[in-house]
Amino acid sequence: MSEQKDLLTEELESLTIKRIKLIPLWIKIFAWIFLIMAGSIPIIIILALINGSGLLSLYGFQTLTPFSLTGILIMLAFALKGIVAFGLLKEKDWAIKLGLTDGFTGIAACTFATLLPLFTNFTGFTIRLELVALIPYVMKLLSIKSQWEEDMKV
């Protein structure tokens, strides 16, 4: 009887698609980049303590002072991206939901950075290049969300 149960378990495991196969190569590449960037945050903090400055930029926001509000928010955004990247690469249950939160937040931040010059000292209109990656990223996560969550039930 235990042999029959083992065969059934093995058959179910072979039918289950590994979550990592749901993620396209370009998202995996960006995930590794963001893991490296998130891992460099402690180095950035140490260098900022020594030097007092360092260029940080994301979503159209940039600063030369990492310990400013903008600098801290950029470092937190990179940390979030690193956590999402880890979750996606390690097939964590929460990865898609947190990835969608990250993606929608990124789209909102890019849109805000794009429109901000229109309401302040107009220095030119720039469409943020990050949107070219963020929109397909969110669309892909939405398309694999149900399969990802289905694997949670098995």
Specify if 12 maps to a domain: no
Residue 74 has pLDDT above 60, yes or no: yes
Residue type, 50: I
Cα angle: 5, vertex 7, 13; to 5 degrees: 105
Q: pLDDT value at position 11?
A: 54
Q: pLDDT value at position 15?
A: 47
Specify if 92 maps to a domain: yes
**Which has the closest alpha carbon to 91: 32, 153, 148?**
148
Specify if 151 maps to a domain: no
Helix, strand, coil % (nearest 5) of the chain?
75, 5, 20
Specify if 16 maps to a domain: no
Q: What integer is the mean pLDDT of 106-116?
A: 89
Contact 79, 41 (CB under 8 A): yes
Q: pLDDT value at position 129?
A: 84
Give how far the C-alpha of residue 2 lies from the chain's centroid of Cα atoms, to the nearest Å. 43
pTM, full prediction = 0.81
Ramachandran angles phi, psi of 120, nearest 5°: -120, -150
Instruction: Report the number of distinct structural domains present in the chain.
Output: 1
Q: What integer is the mean pLDDT of 116-136?
A: 80
Q: How far apart are CA 2 and CA 145, in angstroms?
A: 35
Q: What integer is the mean pLDDT of 45-71?
A: 88
Q: Indicate the range of 94-98, 100-104, 126-130 predicted with least confidence.
A: 126-130
- In tens, the pLDDT along 16-49 reads 568 889 999 999 999 999 999 999 999 988 988 8
Instruction: Work out the mean pLDDT of the chain and round it to a whole number.
Output: 86
**Which has the closest alpha carbon to 111: 124, 127, 134?**
127
Q: How far apart are CA 36 and CA 78, in angstroms?
A: 10
**Containing structural domain, residue 125:** 23-144
Residue 141 has pLDDT above 70, yes or no: yes
Specify if 7 maps to a domain: no
Q: How far apart are CA 70 and CA 37, in angstroms?
A: 17
